[in-house]
Structures are given as structure tokens and as C-alpha cells.
Structure 1
Amino acid sequence: MDVDIGNALETRPGLTEETLDRLDDRVADAHDRIARGMADDEFGYASLNLPETADPAAIRAAVEPFGEPEAVLTVGIGGSALGAATLADALESDVDAHFLDNVDPDAVDALLADLSLADTVVNVVSRSGTTAETLANFLVVRDAMDDAGVDWTERTLVTTGEEGNLRQLAETHDLPALDVPEGVPGRFSALSTVGLAVTALQGHDVEAVLAGGRDGMDALSGSLYESPAYAYGATTYALAERGALTNAFMPYSESLETFAEWFAQLWAESLGKDGLGQTPARALGATDQHSQLQLYRAGPADKLVTLVRPTERADAPIPETDLEGLSYLGGSSLGDLLDAEFAATEASLAAADVPNVRVEIDRVDERALGELLFGMEAACVLYGELASVSTFTQPAVEWGKKAARGLLGGGDFPEAEAVADKREFRID
């Protein structure tokens, strides 16, 4: 992973090299804290050890009984699904990957109607084993399998904690089960059993993903000038302190579109604390040059744009044409056009004094994705250290979970009582 922060300097709001020099001393202190946390396997910091602590052999053993399925259906939400979805959507496979990460009944019914459940592995993921959305969807899926005459116990893989409903279910029915890693929040779990079971079921190289993560680990150092991940984390933090409170995250590869969704959860849930944080906005190049770039260039000066791309990709030639005004396209390729769109967007933003950062990987493959996932996690942890926020907690999310559970009769929670206090001002 390479990071170019040149277009984040001397912009509005922007940085100077002198600012970065001063910040680098704080990066060194933050790195020391992160390194201690990793060495002690502290909660949250243990996430950055996953490239070394994850066990690919255990993952392969858990998925081996399923052979070569036609599809894998992951039932999970948030960090229990987005890491796996990022890898699945980025890498091509003959095994289709689907994700039930919402409880929209229309979407659930439509997906189940299209799947051959007899040829599908159901991968149900919940650390606590009590996540309402996940368990509700799993009960619906299990019922659909029964209706289709499929023995769900022969097609189900469980990834969960040591205790809880899912652990009891796995033990009762002797289901293949993987342990979620200790001390790792869900949004930081892509490089673990949580994210990699689907990777293994699709036939991808799990070891290569973890090797990429180790490449990212090896690149960490006590200076932002020597670590791409820390350069990104420090730059985004410093820009947010100067008013760039929106981070428009814009991959120039459709295979990385889900990666932008994963990044959005990581950034929002980790850093949105105590009135601080930077709002992630998902975009896709070149599509959103035509739908969002107007705002980024000419709107409020409160944005950073992160441009992400692989430097190597498959290509497709553009046929010659006699159409007036389009002949310049003939003889080039779609890759050439996308590269030109990338460069034009980057230059357009710079010309408008909008800070932007370029993040590049060599290609979209297992190793590069592992490094990219790790790099963004390390960048997020560094940002949290610099901002003095509790990076690994999510109290605001827990409030909403309690309210929903109380509304459904799952306990007596004062958060649920607050729902009745909603102010109404209807216009019919």
C-alpha cells in the first residue's frame, strides 16, 4: 500500500510540511502506545496482531466438510459481514457469496427465493450469539431450508464466542464452529475467522491475505514519513482538526466498492466519539465524478477526498469510431480512460484547493487486500490515539440495540422507554 499526501498540503483546510514535522513527534508516542497494546494483546490493539495470530488451518478444517458449494450465505451484520463481503466482492470466484446483513423482509424473501439452499453453505456470524438481527434472519433461513427439504444442520457453519445462543446451537447439533478472536471488535475482524471463512469457502488463498496483513505490520514505524498507514491516519486526523470533517472515500475500481462500505463502518464507529470524528462518505470513481464531485469542488470547504486504486488491472480496448468528436477514444482502452478520469479528478480537486490523498495497491488480489485492510485499521487506530478517543468502543450503537430489544419484549431497558418520548410534528 502506497500513500501520497502531496495534495493534502497547502489546501483549504490544509497542512504544511512544518505541521507534519510537529505532528510526527506525537505519531512516535502514539506508535509506542500501539506497540505496547499489541505486545500485551490488549482489547482492540489485539486486532493488529491478527495477521500473525489468525489460524488458517482451523478455518480450512471448519469449511472442509462442505466441499465445493454453489454458494455461501453469510448471516451477520456490521463487522460480522462487511470484512467477508469486502474480500468476496473484490475477488472472483465460482462460488457465489451472498450476505443477509439487514432485516428488510422483501430483500430477505427475494434472496432466499433465488438460492438453491441444498447447494448453499449458511455461515452465521455473531460474537455474542445474541445479535437480534442475525438470529432473526438465521431463524428465517433455517425455516426456509426446512421447507425446501434441506437438513440445515448439514449446511451450517457457526462463527461465535465461547458462550451464547449460537455456541449452544453448535454444540447441540454438532455444527462446524469457529471461534471469534478475543479482544477484537467486530469492525476490526476482517483478518480473522469472521472475515476469512467466506474467503476459504470461495477457494481463495487465506494465507496470502494474512501475508498481506503482515506486510502492513512490517511497515509500521514510529514516523508517519516511514509508514503509509500512519501517514494516512495522521493526515486525516490533522485535516479533521482543521475542519475537514467529511472523508469522501472513492475507490477507482468497482471490485473495491464494498471496501468503501467496510471503511465507512471502521471510520464512523471507531472515531465518532465525544463530539469528534470524521464522517465517511462513500463514492465510486468514475461514476461519482458525475454525481458528487460538484459538491466536493464547489461546496463547503469541509472535505477530504480519499482516492483509492490498483495500479495494475485487466483492460479492454475501445474500438475505433468515425463518430465526430469521439475519434480520440479509438485505439485507447477503458483502463486508459479510467486512469485519465482518476488523474483529472485528482487535479480538479487540487485546483479547487480541496485536500485529497491517493492510496494505491499493486493489484486487487489476496495479498494486496490483506495489506489494504490492515493498513486502514492501523490508520484508524493511530487517528484514535491522536484524537484521544476510545477507538474500540461503540456506546452509541449499544444504546440503539437496547432500545430495539426492549421494544420487542427482550428485556426492560430505559432506552426503549425513550422511544415513546419522540416529538411529532406531522404534515399530512
Structure 2
Amino acid sequence: MYVDLGSALGATPGVSRDSLERLDEQVATAHERIQAGRRNSQHGYAALNLPETVDLDAIRGAVAPFEDPAAVLTVGIGGSALGAATLADALAGPADPDAYFLDNVDPEHVSRLLASLPLDRTVVNVVSRSGTTAETLANFLVVREAMADAGVDWTERTFVTTGESGNLCDLAEQHDLPSLPVPDGVPGRFSALSTVGLAVAAIQGHDLDALRAGAAAAADGLSGSLFETPAYAYGATAYALTGRGALTNAMMPYAERLETFAEWFAQLWAESLGKDGLGQTPARALGATDQHSQLQLYRAGPRDKLVTLVRPRDRPDFGIPATELDGLSYLGGSSLGELLDAEFEATEASLVESGVPAIRVEIDAVDERSLGSLLYEMEAACVLYGELASVSTFTQPAVEWGKRAARGLLGGGDFEEADAVDERTSLVVE
């Protein structure tokens, strides 16, 4: 990816070239820690080794039994679904199997989705490292029953992605289901370039080798300076801006196919960096749509935001027909792509004019190689930010607290966190 920091210089809050020069010494030290973690395959840092360690043949082998599916349904939550969804939404073509994701337990949504699927031609991928994730297992039980009610042998349409032990591992052994291992030392939100994120891409026929090649090129490009490494340029500048008051990071891709990427980024950034009263709150926007809504706040609201503008340098285009309407004659002969690029440039200029920091991120195209690079480099940017902020990037204690509370409420064990629900103060207005 290509990172342009120019629109973050001199903003309010903003950074200067001199401050980035000083910060670069810390980046060099953080890079040494990151590389040491990679060499030792330490928890979390192992995610940055995935271009070397992911077994693409195992992924292809696991999905090979499912010939000519009409749809693939991933049952997972958070990082168990968002990486795959990002790739599916970015890369899917009209001839590919449709990809769906059950990542919530809203009963109305679940029932409507299952009613709409051709279950006899749907492949189900159940993803949970532990095999005990309540939402995932509950949804899978519902899906399995729906398939049985439709006369479909669920064992012939299902594979699992899980850890070395647990309920899903036992289920796969009992029913001889194809299975893929969740990689050791890789938190879910960093697993997009692993078996967790790539299985759906394989079913849809996308180029796994190109995805890995893009990520590998990004990994090879990591160096000890933010001025030489796009990932570090982004992570270090976001960190510096947070310290100057930019507590919100609005991720705004100018490509419809990258809208889910903004969701993936939001989990990566929030769950990794929101620790000990620190972090930067991710917001999700879409250009040019949200120029007509959220941009008003970004430009004229509190000075507490960084806006990240993302676009591909090359994309398919569509010409705009000429019109007899005088007020719109300037559009005739141009294209939708030119209009979208003009909207991108105008938004960036608008932010600069009002003193709001922005970072421009560009990729070559919305294709496998560019996406492999983009996902890897955003992960590396997040890890660097965590190193600079001295937070525990790869843990998620607040998430685990909520999981224990929910299990306790459902009778899944004696968890003291569940007692907090009964202690909640209420003030009801009817």
C-alpha cells in the first residue's frame, strides 16, 4: 500500500515532520521487538509470519469435496468471520458462490437468512478456535437442524475450522468432517490471512497464491523506519495523532467493495488498542456516500479525529452519458470513476482546509495481491501502534469478561461476572 502523510502535517491536531523524525527512533526500537517476536513465533507476533506459515494446500484440500456450491455460509463471530467477509465482499464476482456470514444471534436475521438459502447447495464453515463460543455454537445448532428439516445431510455440507481440542474438534472426528486448524499464536482479529480467512476465498475460486504474495511482499518490506515502511508510517502517525487529541479514527474507503474492510479494521483497531484507558476509537464511513452525512462532523465538529481515506489507483469505470440539462452538462463525457476520484480529492482538501488531519492510503487495485498487502500492513500498523503505546495488543480482557457473564446467565457455569447483571442500577422512564 502507499501512504501519504501530507494532509496530517500542520493540522489541528497534527504532527510535524520534525516530530515524526523524533518518533522514528522509537519506531526502530519497536521494530526490533516485533522482529524478535516474529523470530520466536510469540503469541500475536506469529500473525505477521502467516505469509510463510499458512498452508494453502491444506485449505484447498479441505474445500475440495464441495463441488459447485451455490453458497457458502460461515458461522463465526468477530475475527472468525470478518477477515473472510472482507475478502469475499472485495473479490466476489457474479459467477462466484455467494458468501454469507452468521456472526450474530439475532433470531429474526438467522431465520430469514436460512429461509433464503438453497441449503442443499450451501457449504457451511463453522469457525471457533475453542469450539465453545456461545454465539457460534448456538447458530451452528440452528443451521444443522434447518438442514436436517430440509432433508439435507449436514455432514456432507459442513467443514470446521477450530483448535486442536474442543467441541468442534470432537464433532469433526465423530462425523469425519473436513477440518482446518486455527493457527497457534494468532488472535482471531489477526487471522484474515490464515485458514480462518482464506477458506471462503478458496471456495469462491480466488487466487490464494496472489493473496499470500501480496502479504509476503509487505512482510519483506518491514524496516526500522516509518519513512521506509508504509505500515509503520500509518501506525506511528496514528499513534502520534492520538497523543495530540485525535481520539477517533474514521476509516473511509472510496470503493464499495472495501466497505467491509472498514468493519474489519474497526475490530482490529478497537480490540487491539483499547486498553488501560488508551486507544483510538475507529469509526466506519464510505466515500462518497458519507460526504453527505458524517463529513459535516469530521470537518466542523470537535477537533478529535483522524480521517483515513482509502482508494484503489486502478478500478473498472463507467462512462456518464451526455445530458441536455445545462446545470449538469459538465458531467457528460466524464465517468463515475473520475467523479469518485474528484470526491476523494475534494474531501481531503476540505479536511486540510479546516485543519483536520487526514492520511491517504492507496492500493494498486481491489485484487488479491493488493488485498493481501493491505490486510497485512494494517495488522503491522496496529502492532506497531501497540508497541509505541505499551499496550497489550494481543489480549482482549474486556471481551472475555462479557463472554463469562453471558455464559453465567445462560447456566453455562458459575461466573461471578454474571452477578453484575443483577447489580445493575436502572432508571426507567415510560
TM-score bracket for the superposition, by shorter chain length: over 0.9
CA RMSD of aligned residues (A): 0.5
* Counterpart-to-counterpart distance in 2, 1:58 and 1:27: 36
Q: Which residue of 1 aligns with 2:62?
A: 62
Tell me the CA shift for residue 68 of structure 1: 2.0
Q: Which residue of 2 aligns with 1:342?
A: 344
Q: Which residue of 2 aligns with 1:159?
A: 161
* Counterpart-to-counterpart distance in 2, 1:284 and 1:160: 33
Which of 360, 363, 367 is matched with 1:361 structurally? 363
Q: Which residue of 2 aligns with 1:405?
A: 407
The reply on whether 1:34 has 2:56 as its aligned counterpart is no
Local SS of the residue matching 1:277 = coil
Local SS of the residue matching 2:327 = coil
Q: Which residue of 2 aligns with 1:257?
A: 259
* Counterpart-to-counterpart distance in 2, 1:257 and 1:104: 22
Which of 132, 135, 147 is matched with 2:134 structurally? 132
Q: Which residue of 2 aligns with 1:182?
A: 184
Tell me the CA shift for residue 324 of structure 1: 2.6
- What is the correspondence of 1:167-316 to structure 2 with a 5 Å cutoff? 167-316=169-318
* Counterpart-to-counterpart distance in 1, 2:312 and 2:16: 28
Cα deviation 1:322-369 (Å, max 9, x = unaligned): 113100000000001000000000000000000000000000000100
The one-letter code sitting in structure 1 at the alignment partner of 2:405 is A
Tell me the CA shift for residue 426 of structure 1: 0.8
Q: Which residue of 2 aligns with 1:50?
A: 50
The one-letter code sitting in structure 1 at the alignment partner of 2:212 is L
Tell me the CA shift for residue 215 of structure 1: 1.1
Tell me the CA shift for residue 25 of structure 1: 0.3
The one-letter code sitting in structure 2 at the alignment partner of 1:407 is L
The reply on whether 1:317 has 2:319 as its aligned counterpart is yes
* Counterpart-to-counterpart distance in 1, 2:92 and 2:383: 30
The reply on whether 1:79 has 2:79 as its aligned counterpart is yes
Q: Which residue of 2 aligns with 1:23?
A: 23
TM-score, normalization: structure 1?
A: 1.00
Cα deviation 1:43-99 (Å, max 9, x = unaligned): 000000001100100000000000221110000000000000000000123210000
Q: Which residue of 2 aligns with 1:2?
A: 2
TM-score, normalization: structure 2?
A: 0.99
* Counterpart-to-counterpart distance in 1, 2:41 and 2:415: 33
Tell me the CA shift for residue 262 of structure 1: 0.2
Cα deviation 1:369-417 (Å, max 9, x = unaligned): 0000000000000000000000000000000000000000000001000
* Counterpart-to-counterpart distance in 1, 2:220 and 2:6: 24
Q: May I ask how many residue pairs the two structures share in their alignment? A: 428
Deviating 4+ runs (over 3 angstroms): none
Structure 2 residue ranges without an equivalent (≥5): none
The one-letter code sitting in structure 2 at the alignment partner of 1:184 is V
Tell me the CA shift for residue 42 of structure 1: 0.2
The reply on whether 1:396 has 2:392 as its aligned counterpart is no
Q: Which residue of 1 aligns with 2:89?
A: 89
* Counterpart-to-counterpart distance in 1, 2:338 and 2:233: 29
Q: Which residue of 1 aligns with 2:354?
A: 352
Q: Which residue of 1 aligns with 2:121?
A: 119
Tell me the CA shift for residue 207 of structure 1: 1.1
